[in-house]
Structure 1
Amino acid sequence: MLRDLNTLIASMQPELQAGVYVFASLPHDAVTSGAGIVATFREREGLTVVMEERAAQAAGIATLFRAAWITLTVHSDLNAVGLTAAFARALGDANISCNVIAAAYHDHIFVPVDDGERAVDVLRDLQRTAGKLSASPKP
């Protein structure tokens, strides 16, 4: 797993996942097995779920946020410093909001569904810039 920030950015390889995903909040006692759920997080107010939009619609679950899901396919170390800040700044500079989930092997970025392709372009530009810096001779 990688920790060097420039190497991480140059290697991040953003991949847009197929489909539309939604954030929703369920009661703490909700049964969450299957049903297209890709992530959960327990908060005081309820159980936040990220799931496939079709599954949420089928279950009658109210949507809080519709998203495109981008996976950074680089194996980033959970102790790495600066990667989230770097891509969040690049997306923010492009006026794209992002919600991030760091999993054991990859970072997952959820952006407004209509901004998915543009967000991937922004991330690839960031990756190319970092790659050029990595290739530059050191003084």
Structure 2
Amino acid sequence: MAPTGETDLAKILKTLRPLLNNGEFVFCVVNNFAALKPEDIIMSFREEEGNTIIRKKKLADRLHLPYSFVASWITLSVHSSLVAVGLTAAFSNALAEKGISCNVVAAFYHDHIFVDKKDTDKAMAALAGFSE
């Protein structure tokens, strides 16, 4: 089966097109999904210690879900392949050079980066630098 999406790193980096999603986002650990609407969950991942979800901060606050990190969500609009080599290293190094921590979720079509809310503008500028 041929890969879906772009695999050439140079092309991917030139066409990243970072998009800032509206809102504040948090990572929470939940044991019971009963009180959660699936459409309100951005991402979920089952780990041995518990179920991690990402959702809008205001929805987590409404359910009194604890969190320790308030993030901005940046989507890399380029359709990169899941087998593309070097993309995560390239953008995480660029962000690290600016002192920005990033948490990455790779989905089928796009990569999604969660950065500390205070670093949003610096992160967007660093990512935009790839296409210049």
Gaps in structure 1 of 5+ consecutive residues: 129-139
Find the counterpart in structure 2 of residue 51 from structure 1: 55
Q: Return the alpha-carbon distance in structure 2 between the equivalents of residues 68 and 6 of structure 1.
A: 26
Aligned counterparts of 1:127 and 1:92: Cα–Cα separation in 2: 18
Q: What TM-score results when the alignment is normalised by the length of structure 1?
A: 0.87
Aligned partner of 1:17 in structure 2 is: 21
Q: Does 1:124 align with 2:109?
A: no
Q: Pairwise mapping of residues 1-139 of structure 1 onto structure 2 (< 5 A)?
A: 1-27=5-31, 29-31=32-34, 32-34=36-38, 36-128=40-132
Q: Which has the larger radius of gyration?
A: 1
Where does the alignment leave 5 or more consecutive residues of structure 2 unmatched?
A: none
SS in 2 for 1:18: coil
Aligned length: 127
- Runs of 4+ residues deviating >4 angstroms: none
- State the TM-score, normalized to the length of structure 2: 0.92
Which piece of structure 1 moves more, 51-60 or 32-41?
A: 32-41
SS of corresponding position for 1:2: coil
Distance in 1 (alpha carbons) for counterparts of 2:100 and 2:121: 11
